Amino acid sequence: MAFIGVQPTSIPLTSSDITDGIISTAKIADDAVTSAKIPANAVTDSELNLGSDYAFTGTVSGTPTSRKLLRTITISSNTNSISFVHGANGVVLDSTYSRYEITVDSAVPSATDAPQLILLVSTNGGSSYHTTDAYNSTYHRHYSNGSSTGNDSAYVNDFALNHDQGVSATANNGGATGTIIVDNLGTASRTVFNGNFFGFGASSYYIHTNSIGALANTDIVNAIAIAFTNGDIASAKFKLFGVL
């Protein structure tokens, strides 16, 4: 039969008949290569750079991680307080997790009179927070300025936790940093908070505070707030984690 151009091959075309590099990526349809056509271990770290940034929008199934980030709050301008409220912004504060952890990174106050960092709780979904005479809390701190040291402890009832450090409003002094742990959330039982805080105080002392406290009843705690005893939070980062 007559034909135009180059005469077709009389036998089936194989991969050895195709010159290396002759087929460009532009000639391959976007959906032509599926995962079923990629041999196992064909893609290595030379094709997939794990040092690069990738956007992930899916979910991970199988064995879950034991610690899940529930919410991050970053403060960069004066804010009176921050709160984690059950049922809002992806936060759960109930028996979903066996315990919860809050991290505080470099909390700097707006006030220059060396306020303390404190934790308050709510039993009405954050509509209001318990304050005076509502808690049973105690703390111990130790401190040093390089030439003198000391330690002391006290009972307080105006907040669940505190960092007994007059925090400097100068950001490059580092603010207050710490970790808060709590369990028994979402149940009518005594909900005890434990906090470990440290920082370089406004009086030029390095201070560490261990604080433990609870609402002085068994009401269900469903919201947590963190603030300074005076003024606003000028800058800080707070993270809430659920731990299985």
Amino acid identity of residue 179, one-letter, is T
Q: Which domains does the chain have, with CATH numbers?
A: 74-243 (2.60.120)
Residue 8 CA to residue 5 CA, distance in Å, equals: 9
For the chain, report the end-to-end CA distance as a whole number of angstroms. Answer: 75
Q: What is the mean pLDDT of the chain?
A: 89
- Confidence class for position 43, pLDDT limits 50, 70, 90: confident
Q: What is the pLDDT of residues 121-134, one digit of tens each?
A: 999 999 999 999 99
Q: Which residues of 186-196 are buried (b: 16+ CB within 10 A; e: fewer)?
A: beeeebbbebb
pLDDT value of position 5: 65
Torsion of CA 139, 91, 243, 221, to 10 degrees: 40
What 8-state DSSP symbol labels residue 219?
P
- Confidence class for position 16, pLDDT limits 50, 70, 90: confident
- Confidence class for position 63, pLDDT limits 50, 70, 90: low
- Reply yes or no on whether the pLDDT at 64 is more than 70: no
- Confidence class for position 18, pLDDT limits 50, 70, 90: confident
Across 199-213, average pLDDT: 95
- Confidence class for position 21, pLDDT limits 50, 70, 90: confident
Across 45-69, average pLDDT: 71
- Confidence class for position 59, pLDDT limits 50, 70, 90: low
To the question of pTM greater than 0.95 for the whole model, the response is no
- Reply yes or no on whether the pLDDT at 229 is more than 90: yes
Beta bridge partners of 118: 162, 227
Q: What sign for the dihedral angle of Cα 9, 15, 19, 25?
A: positive
Residue 13: which residues within 8 A CB-CB, separation 6 or more?
A: none
CB 239 within 8 A of CB 67: no
